[in-house]
Structures are given as C-alpha cells and as structure tokens.
A and B are shown apart, each in its own frame.
Chain A
C-alpha cells in the first residue's frame, strides 16, 4: 500500500479502502453515509460552503475554532454570532429571524438557515448544550452542523461522540464533521449524515472535489483505529476518568487555572491574572512550557493567529492520553506545577 494518493477523488483517486473507511465510519457513528477528506482542517471548512451560500443565514457560536471560521468566510453567508454557549441569545436571534420570515415568506422559502457549533470547543474546552440546540432545530426547522473533532472518540459510552453522550438519536444532528487527526491519530477528516445530504459534498465540497484523496495507508490506519475503538469500548471511559483525574491533579497550579469540561482530555490552563499584553502572557507561558519540556513533560502553549474572530485567552494546553498511567499523570502534574511556580509567581 503506497503512501500517496496520486489523484482527485472523482478521477480514480477513490481506492476501495476509502470506501471501506467511509462505510465503517458511517456505521460507527450510526449515520447513513460518510465522506472522507484528506485534511482535518479542510473537512468543516469545505462542508459549510457546500450547503450554505451567499443569501443564506448561519447562526454560529462565537467561540468556534479557526477551521469553522474559515468555512463561514468561504460560504459568504450572513453570519449571526451568538455569545459562547449562550442559548438564550441564540433563541433571541432565532426568534428575530422567525419574525422576519413571517413578514416575508417568499424570501424565507429561498433562504437556508443553519446552526453551527462545536460539541467540545477546541478553544475553550467546554461542552455545547446539544439537547437545547436540537430543541431549537426542531422548533425553528434549522439544521445543525456539529464540529466533533474533539468529541469523536472521546464522548459517549462507545466513543461515538456528542450525540451518544447526550443520549440523542443520530438523526437529531443533521451533519457531523470530525477530524481523524485527533483521537484517531491518523490524517484527514470525515462528515457523516443522511445519504442525500452527504452525497452533495462529493460534487460541491471543494476540499473533496479539487483535492487529492487520502493516502491509502493512512486510511488503513484509520480503519485499524476503528477496529480498536470497537473492540475495546472501555478505553473511552478510561480516557475520561484520566482527564478528570488530571484536572484534579492540576488544580492549585500556581498562577494558572484549569478550564473546560471535566471529561475533556484537552485541558486549557489559563493565566489566573493575565497582563494587558498578550505577547507578554504568551512569552511567560512559553517559558513554563520550555521548563516542562526540559523536565521531560511535553506541553504546548496554544497557538492562535490574530485573524481569530475572538482571540481566546492565552493558555497552556495539556492533553491526556489513555495510555498514560496514574503515576505518569501525577509526575507530569508535579512538573507543571513546579514550572509554573518558578516562572509565574
């Protein structure tokens, strides 16, 4: 199996192993069909503009990650941001739109509306209240696009993501997009949903049509990953337990506070007292990260660009892996605390 794709998906770039991966992903997530992309970032940023065009409206959380922001920009749609995880604000925006729709039903008929959110926010670490979003979806007839890069392989009893975590039916969320570069440890990403919806991306998803397909070897790696996920369902609860444990261990880190949902293995340690200069904060955290690396614990300062819609606070990002033992987590937490004490206070 060679490591390069050598062609676009539509022109002999679809290898049988891609079809197998798509089928397996669709089955795993409980959806009718899945489509795979060769690049995680390209997944959601191609999916959104495939459905939403210039005259359409998207209700989006302010705290979405950069990939979603690029998808929104590429769609050229009218974006209405609601405050991060503020469901009342979203409801208010939807109600306002409903009033406008009633005034102009002809326009409403030709305007699409979507809600875009992340299941587990990459920049903030918290969960999105999905049941509430589904309620809005049903009440206002507005489909949901859910970014699940951090929740796929993390949330839910079998790691199927946010829909399983919240006890919802797969059909309640119209389209999920997830990267295979996070929990799966491979490359690429996928979207899953109803057949006629997902199939549309095969001609309209620019990251799919105009790009080479995933290297077959890396598709095989993802299939093996799915085998492991299906064969060892206990790893998800183990991962979440370790995430909770690590958060507990990191509590009380001098100068830093632990942020985000307790079961999220991606832990943001934000500065308790940030200064007025972002550069100073980043440099301080870099020194802490460097100290940790020198002591044998690799942590990173979360990197952002100034083009972000709302620049998240400066933070150190600690990611928990299910293969780390309790001892290793304790040792790591100790190193981080020592480094923080040395540089921040």
Chain B
C-alpha cells in the first residue's frame, strides 16, 4: 500500500529549487551560484569565475537542469503505479498457481533467502524483468566508436535469453571511451601484450606484501606528474579506491560532507568509515556552506568538541547528470572553514581541461588546493583501477593504512602498462600530438552533440563541456522504447531509470568519445531526432 501511495503521489524532486517551469528558450541557464548570501562569494565572485581555458573570450560554460513538465511527471507516476499494480496481480496469480514462469519454478523449493521480502525483488521480478533486454547487452569486440553487440532473443518475456549466434555492429554511444583508448591495436595494446609476457596476468599479492612491481612505481610517478600532485598511489579497482581508502582517512569523530548525488563507491566508503556523514544539495554552494558553518560552530553532537577533520566529498563530473562540481567556490569554502576536499575525478580525468588533466585544469584551480585527488583509469585510459594523488605524507600514510594495499591484490601488470602508455600519449610525451588531438576532439564532440540536441528541443541536462549528455525520457515505457528503437537503427545507447535515478527522471545517457567522427554524430542525431518525434520526447 505504501508503495502504491508513494508511486502515485507527486514525489518532490530533492534537487528541485523553486523555479518556474522552463519556457521555450532553448538554452537558458538555470544554474547560478547560490552563494549570494555568503560573504566569501561576494568578496571574490568577480575573480572566481575562471575563463574558458580553450577560448578566453568565451563566457563560462552553462549548465542546465530543466524541471520536468507537469504532465510528464503525472504520466510517469501513473506508469509506475500501473506497473506496480500489475506486479501485485502477477504475484497473486503465482500464489494461486495460475501463473507458471521460471521464477515460480525456481521457488518450488523453500526459499531460504526469503527473496520476496524486499521491494527490490518485487521490482526486479515484475517491472525490471519485463524490460531487462535494454541492459546487460553483451558485446563481442573492443568497445570503440563501433562495437559488435551479441544478438539475443527471449522466448519467455525476458526470463531467459537465447543467443542467436549472430552479431550486430552498432555505433557505440554507451561506453566510457572518452579518449578512444579502448582499442585492441596500437601502441597501448602492444605494450600491454609485452607486459603480459614479462609479468604474467595477475600479481597474486597485495601491494604491501609482494605485489608492488616496478611498473607500479613508474605508474605512480607518472600519475602524480599528470595530475600535478607530489605523489600518487594506484589500486586495482576504481570502486574500491573510494570504498577502501575513505575509511582509512576518516573515522569516528570526523565529519564527511558529501554531495547528494555522489557515486555508490563514495557513499560506501563514507558509510564504512564510521564518520558522521552529512549530505548537501547537488552542487549547491549555499547548502554546503550552511552545513560547514553549522559543523564549525556546533562541533560534534552532544560533546560539542570540534570535529577532528571535516572532509568535503565531490566529484569532478557527475556521470548521471553531466554536471560539474563548482570547484573554485568549494575551494574558497574549504579554506574559509578549514576543511579538506576529496575530489573524485572518475569521469573527468583525461576528459576535461585543455590537456585532459581534469577539472582542476578546467576551472583553473591549483591542484595544491585539493587535498586528495582521486580518479579511475577505466574511462579515459581504457584500463582498470584507480588512483589517489596527494601530498607525500598522505600517500605514505595510505600505503600502510589502506585496506586495498594490505588485503587486495595490486593492479595487474598489463593493465598498469596500458595506463602508462595511454597517459604518456595524452601528455604528449610520446612525441606526437595524438593526445592533444583526442582531448580537443572530445570537447568539440561534446559541445556539438549537446548543442544540436538542444536545437532539436530535447530536454538535456548538464554542462556544455561535459562529455556525458543525459537526454531526459521520464516515462518508463519511453525508456525502453528509446533503447529498442535505436538498437534497430544499430545505435547502442545506455538508458537509466528508477532506482538508479529519481523516479521522474529516467534518461538516456550518451557518452561521447574522441573516436566519434562528425559523420557518426550526425547519423546518431538524425536517428535520435526521428525516435524523439516518434516517442514525443521533445519539449
């Protein structure tokens, strides 16, 4: 009952600020600094807006988050309401034995896991299952600008899939291949291959034991130089870089102030650390300052002792929103309130900034002002794993205190070599202009694609310069149709809905790449335009 009521009521979007619904203007900026009341902002605001680093004459890139139109919100809730009702009817029929499907067959034996208890399982069984052909689509090639999707069909409404044995070559708008390093030929692949011959596949040991190789030392020095910090440490998994190091840095008596839309790895790390966690509204400098001010004046609850440490956790680029954290303002706040900043650059390292050094370069912020810089190698480097870059003493401490360096195996040698080679190319140290070319191409693609989509009247979120372009779809039915229709046109896109996003804001998330040419983007735009008309996705 609770579920139906909440699904049918208009859920207030936690990020909604009281703004009027968007009129017809195609590119009105709704995001503005909410720090008018803060003295720090009024003192430094004129100088704190960094110019566009590639074109000093260009005004600061705009971000926009249009409110969902009322009718779309109503229909979205109605859709979920109907799906939930249908789900309950199906469960009832299953109980009566009138509906036979693989789920009922599997549960013929006693379900020791009591999988029926959570809404999660209900959702998976009755809603997600119907449309799960849109996700987990296997590929059979490197995820470059084009990728081979393995064809599959379902004979039983998506309970199981059958592979037909064929593949379809599709334009890939879904993979995080920002700089096009997801290649199985070229200098990176050759170097990784040689590394496998020299070192083998896995290291079979944590970094603190026998798992530190000379390639790791080389990689760490390179990463530190790339991001502009004195030292760096690398880890085998990007997710684990957050979830296993935040607990090593923060503990009881510490305060973590985290953006409400931070990634699951940051949330896990914050939870496991034992520190107190407070959440501020997405990219709202006003909300962040209010929390910091409270923290400094009130101290810890009950004892009112000052917090041992205050850490602000933000991401460079938010992958579901396409937005950028307002780094200059956050740095000013951190200096004012003597807090620390932890910047997760999973989606921005390699992808933002004139030479791909990330959001610090993009905003013109000195890396020395960011206490801990974290990033992953999965997106722009075509590899795996993550890094943390900071001052030498922090890195020395982490080397001994990190859960990952003590218990988890280190980065496999071929992966480390892949990162070294790709990073060297991006920095231009290989003597070519390839890196520079790729970074510029990515920025050009991002701007072009977003601008064209906006001209076509699609509702698009995020920053103009961000390579992540979310197109809002709203209704669950449109989410699946968008994905399926584009697949028919041989375009692979990623769609995301509830519970990964808020209930009203299901979207297609386009990830642009330096390996996309103008022709590929034009083809994609043409097809998206047609599907957009078909599904009434435009404003």
Contact with A along B179-223 (1 / 0, CB 8 A): 001111000110010001000111011101110000000000000
- Check: A38 CB closer than 8 A to any chain B CB: yes
| Seed contacts A12-B139, A41-B404, A300-B205; 7 additional CB < 8 Å A-B pairs | A15-B140, A41-B237, A74-B272, A110-B117, A206-B264, A209-B264, A218-B412
Interface residue stretch chosen among B78-86, B142-150, B436-444, B450-458: B142-150
- Check: A197 CB closer than 8 A to any chain B CB: yes
- For the complex formed, measure the closest distance between the CB of A335 and the CB atoms of chain B, giving whole angstroms: 16
- For the complex formed, measure the closest distance between the CB of B181 and the CB atoms of chain A, giving whole angstroms: 7
Contact B142 A194 (CB under 8 A): no
- For the complex formed, measure the closest distance between the CB of A139 and the CB atoms of chain B, giving whole angstroms: 12
- For the complex formed, measure the closest distance between the CB of B228 and the CB atoms of chain A, giving whole angstroms: 24
Interface residue stretch chosen among B40-48, B56-64, B238-246: B238-246
Cα distance A307–B417 in the bound complex, in angstroms: 33
**A241 / chain B contacts, CB cutoff of 8 Å:** none
Contact A14 B209 (CB under 8 A): no
- For the complex formed, measure the closest distance between the CB of B137 and the CB atoms of chain A, giving whole angstroms: 6
Cα distance A9–B494 in the bound complex, in angstroms: 12
Cα distance A5–B176 in the bound complex, in angstroms: 9
| Interface residues of A, Cβ cutoff 8 Å to B | 1-7, 9-16, 18-19, 38-42, 51, 53, 65-67, 70, 73-74, 110, 112, 141-143, 174, 180-182, 184-187, 194-197, 200, 202-204, 206-207, 209-212, 214-215, 217-218, 221, 298, 300, 303-305, 307
**A6 / chain B contacts, CB cutoff of 8 Å:** 143, 175-177, 182, 378-379, 382
Cα distance A295–B452 in the bound complex, in angstroms: 67
- For the complex formed, measure the closest distance between the CB of B131 and the CB atoms of chain A, giving whole angstroms: 13
**B124 / chain A contacts, CB cutoff of 8 Å:** 200, 203
Contact B378 A212 (CB under 8 A): yes
**A14 / chain B contacts, CB cutoff of 8 Å:** 136-139
With contact pairs A70-B272, A187-B236, A195-B106 given, residues A9 and B136 touching in the complex (Cβ less than 8 Å): yes
- For the complex formed, measure the closest distance between the CB of B309 and the CB atoms of chain A, giving whole angstroms: 17
Cα distance A206–B269 in the bound complex, in angstroms: 12
Q: List B345-387 residues whose CB lies under 8 Å from chain A.
A: 376-379, 381-384
Name A122's closest neighbour in chain B (CB-CB).
B407
Question: How many residues on chain B are close to A (CB under 8 Å)?
Answer: 83
**A186 / chain B contacts, CB cutoff of 8 Å:** 201-202, 412
Name A41's closest neighbour in chain B (CB-CB).
B408
With contact pairs A4-B182, A67-B407, A298-B210 given, residues A203 and B268 touching in the complex (Cβ less than 8 Å): no
Contact B236 A53 (CB under 8 A): no
Work out how many contacts link A and B, with CB atoms closer than 8 A: 214
Name A306's closest neighbour in chain B (CB-CB).
B401
- For the complex formed, measure the closest distance between the CB of A314 and the CB atoms of chain B, giving whole angstroms: 14
Interface residue stretch chosen among B2-10, B20-28, B107-115: B107-115
Contact A42 B237 (CB under 8 A): yes
**B137 / chain A contacts, CB cutoff of 8 Å:** 12, 14
For B135, give its contact among A10, A38, A211 (CB under 8 Å).
Answer: A10
Name A222's closest neighbour in chain B (CB-CB).
B201
Cα distance A143–B418 in the bound complex, in angstroms: 42
Cα distance A215–B377 in the bound complex, in angstroms: 12
Contact with A along B246-258 (1 / 0, CB 8 A): 0100000000000
| Interface residues of B, Cβ cutoff 8 Å to A | 102-103, 106-107, 110, 112-115, 117-118, 120-121, 124, 128, 135-140, 142-143, 147, 149-150, 172, 174-177, 181-184, 188-189, 192, 196, 200-202, 204-206, 208-210, 236-240, 244, 247, 263-265, 268, 271-272, 376-379, 381-384, 401, 403-404, 406-409, 412, 414-415, 417-418, 492, 494
With contact pairs A4-B415, A6-B177 given, residues A41 and B377 touching in the complex (Cβ less than 8 Å): no
Contact A203 B182 (CB under 8 A): no
Cα distance A14–B135 in the bound complex, in angstroms: 10
**A11 / chain B contacts, CB cutoff of 8 Å:** 135, 174-175, 494
A-B contact pairs, 18 of them (CB 8 A): A3-B412, A4-B181, A6-B378, A6-B382, A12-B147, A12-B172, A16-B139, A41-B240, A112-B114, A181-B409, A184-B202, A187-B201, A200-B124, A202-B136, A203-B124, A206-B239, A210-B263, A215-B412
**B381 / chain A contacts, CB cutoff of 8 Å:** 4
Cα distance A10–B176 in the bound complex, in angstroms: 13
Contact B115 A200 (CB under 8 A): yes
- For the complex formed, measure the closest distance between the CB of B311 and the CB atoms of chain A, giving whole angstroms: 18
- For the complex formed, measure the closest distance between the CB of B180 and the CB atoms of chain A, giving whole angstroms: 10
Cα distance A211–B208 in the bound complex, in angstroms: 24
- For the complex formed, measure the closest distance between the CB of A136 and the CB atoms of chain B, giving whole angstroms: 12
Name A67's closest neighbour in chain B (CB-CB).
B407
**A221 / chain B contacts, CB cutoff of 8 Å:** 201-202
Contact A74 B182 (CB under 8 A): no
**A202 / chain B contacts, CB cutoff of 8 Å:** 136
Contact B201 A7 (CB under 8 A): no
**A10 / chain B contacts, CB cutoff of 8 Å:** 135-136
**A143 / chain B contacts, CB cutoff of 8 Å:** 112-113
Cα distance A3–B346 in the bound complex, in angstroms: 18
Cα distance A215–B247 in the bound complex, in angstroms: 27
- List the 8 closest A-B pairs by CB distance, nearest first: A39-B237, A221-B201, A41-B408, A211-B239, A4-B383, A4-B382, A210-B264, A196-B106
Contact B117 A112 (CB under 8 A): yes
Cα distance A143–B109 in the bound complex, in angstroms: 13
Contact A7 B136 (CB under 8 A): no
For B239, give its contact among A73, A210, A300 (CB under 8 Å).
Answer: A210
For B143, give its contact among A7, A42, A210 (CB under 8 Å).
Answer: A7
Name B148's closest neighbour in chain A (CB-CB).
A16
Contact A181 B113 (CB under 8 A): no
Cα distance A16–B151 in the bound complex, in angstroms: 11
Name A17's closest neighbour in chain B (CB-CB).
B140
For B209, give its contact among A174, A184, A303 (CB under 8 Å).
Answer: A303
Contact B406 A203 (CB under 8 A): no
**A53 / chain B contacts, CB cutoff of 8 Å:** 118
Cα distance A38–B409 in the bound complex, in angstroms: 11
- For the complex formed, measure the closest distance between the CB of A194 and the CB atoms of chain B, giving whole angstroms: 7
Name B416's closest neighbour in chain A (CB-CB).
A3
**B172 / chain A contacts, CB cutoff of 8 Å:** 12
**A303 / chain B contacts, CB cutoff of 8 Å:** 206, 208-209, 406-407
Contact B408 A40 (CB under 8 A): yes
**A12 / chain B contacts, CB cutoff of 8 Å:** 137, 139, 143, 147, 149, 172, 174-175, 492, 494
**A305 / chain B contacts, CB cutoff of 8 Å:** 401, 403, 406-407
Contact B192 A3 (CB under 8 A): yes
Cα distance A180–B202 in the bound complex, in angstroms: 9
For B201, give its contact among A9, A194, A218 (CB under 8 Å).
Answer: A218
Name A217's closest neighbour in chain B (CB-CB).
B414
**A15 / chain B contacts, CB cutoff of 8 Å:** 138-140
Contact B265 A210 (CB under 8 A): yes
For B384, give its contact among A9, A181, A185, A212 (CB under 8 Å).
Answer: A212
**A65 / chain B contacts, CB cutoff of 8 Å:** 407
Name B495's closest neighbour in chain A (CB-CB).
A11
- For the complex formed, measure the closest distance between the CB of A70 and the CB atoms of chain B, giving whole angstroms: 7
Cα distance A74–B205 in the bound complex, in angstroms: 24
